[in-house]
Amino acid sequence: MTEQRPLPQSGCRDTPILRERGQREVFCGLTGIIWLHRKMQDAFFLVVGSRTCAHLLQSAAGVMIFAEPRFGTAILEEKDLAGMADAHEELDREVTRLLSRRPDIRQLFLVGSCPSEVIKLDLSRAAERLSQQFAPHVRVLNFSGSGIETTFTQGEDACLASMVPGLPETEARNFVVVGALPDVVEDQALSLLAAMGIEHVSCLPARRAGDDPAVGPNTVFALTQPFLGDTAGALERRGATRIVAPFPFGEEGTTAWIAAVAETFGIAQHVFDDVTAAPRARARKAIAAQAQELNGKRVFFFPDSQLEVPLARFLTRECGMEAVEIGTPYLHKDLCGPDLALIAEGPVLSEGQDVDLQLDRCRANRPDLTVCGLGLANPLEAEGLSTKWAIELVFTPVHFYEQAGDLAGLFSRPLRRRAALRMGATSGPIEGPSAAQGLRPAAAGEVSA
């Protein structure tokens, strides 16, 4: 390939990992539903859980809640906890009601939560039973998005892994792109692969139930997301082979990802170069425009989505940043190995979390940019630290060439903003009435009239 950046001497592949246990400030896997249901247009996600689960989805989905979304929560009530047999009848009734009102639904996911897992409600049996009842029109599947078992994006992994055993069988040599990408990104990826002459490409998840990829011993697949360990395992159990590659973030990551696929399919070097040269140049130019603010700046990642390792690789190698700590909820060394190898030695690699200890480290380091969840972002801003809230990286199109500039932009914008605002204080107001008491009565009437 052309213009390779120098490789670090040994990378972070063998860096010892700081493993911590304590309070974790993370989402549970149910949150994955918010973007999965957009991707799978004929699927409905029915969480079996508590009011807390419904409240979480509502808080995470924001305004999306009001657009008749294809997800909901069957809230457990006291009577459901009293006896188990009843719970299945209740579930059947709710599902029947739901499906009769939403005849457009072809796949129904029963999503386990902490409460349903703790009372050991057998949702897989329920899924089997309901599948028989509603076959062939609706397929009913089951996975767990509970906080006790899954962290944030792992919900997608659990969902996709639950689909793998039901995928059709094939003997053909085909290629599966694994991971729910925004449609625009998926189209770009498919057209790059098509331009190189790679045939029989499909996606998991597919946009509709009928378009599911087939799997067999000659299937090869590549992950577009680092959090898909269980899905990869399930595909391998069906005989498929995983293409090992860094994840397609930035120009370098995308090129390496496509190169690994091209190599697997024996695509000639000149074909690869012809197809990728123009978008590579575009991506580099777009990144350069954003990287000015990022160059030489220090970044600290709190654990959130497992995207932290490949994103740290992108920011350090393509935007000139220095990683201080790369926190991730789980480090799948096998999947992230290629990315780890590309990150220069130096940063602390941490897996899991004790949020108070990690906050202490973050404050002591005073990084230029902290990537963290919304529960930490404003409090850290009030302490004078610039933050980039991490959830946006999961909802926004960030993969492959055309989004590389946007991806860098997500990180440069908070720094640009901090530089642009010149009002003195950055810390937030002290909440509560004591601080506000001086406001009224004289000034207030004038202000709001």
How near is the Cβ of 371 to another protein at its closest, in Å?
15
Nearer to another protein, 51 or 173 (CB): 51
How near is the Cβ of 10 to another protein at its closest, in Å?
32
Phi, psi of 429 (to 5 degrees): -70, 155
User: Closest Cα to residue 318, out of 369, 366, 273, 254?
Assistant: 254
Nearer to another protein, 114 or 349 (CB): 114
How near is the Cβ of 167 to another protein at its closest, in Å?
24
Nearer to another protein, 16 or 432 (CB): 432
d(CA 195, CA 191): 6
How near is the Cβ of 65 to another protein at its closest, in Å?
6
CB 232 within 8 A of CB 246: no
User: What is the sign, positive or negative, of the torsion defined by CA atoms of 52, 57, 62, 68?
Assistant: negative
Cβ contacts of 303 within 8 Å, gap of 6 or more: 24, 26, 151, 327, 328, 329, 350, 351, 352, 353
Nearer to another protein, 310 or 414 (CB): 414
Nearer to another protein, 3 or 66 (CB): 66
Collapsed DSSP state (helix, strand, coil) of residue 28: strand
d(CA 160, CA 154): 10
Nearer to another protein, 69 or 182 (CB): 69
How near is the Cβ of 244 to another protein at its closest, in Å?
29
How near is the Cβ of 126 to another protein at its closest, in Å?
12
CB 109 within 8 A of CB 141: yes
Query: Residue 439's CB: how many other CB atoms inside 10 A?
Result: 11
Nearer to another protein, 304 or 339 (CB): 304
Inter-helix orientation angle 250-264/404-420, to 10°: 170
How near is the Cβ of 115 to another protein at its closest, in Å?
5
**Is beta strand 43-49 parallel, antiparallel or unpaired with respect to 71-75?**
parallel
Nearer to another protein, 101 or 137 (CB): 101
Name the H helices within 165-321: 183-195, 229-237, 250-264, 269-291, 308-318
Query: Which of the 8 DSSP states describes residue 427?
Result: S
How near is the Cβ of 411 to another protein at its closest, in Å?
20
How near is the Cβ of 209 to another protein at its closest, in Å?
14
Nearer to another protein, 184 or 436 (CB): 436
CB 71 within 8 A of CB 53: no
CB 87 within 8 A of CB 121: yes
Peptide bond into 414 cis (omega under 30): no
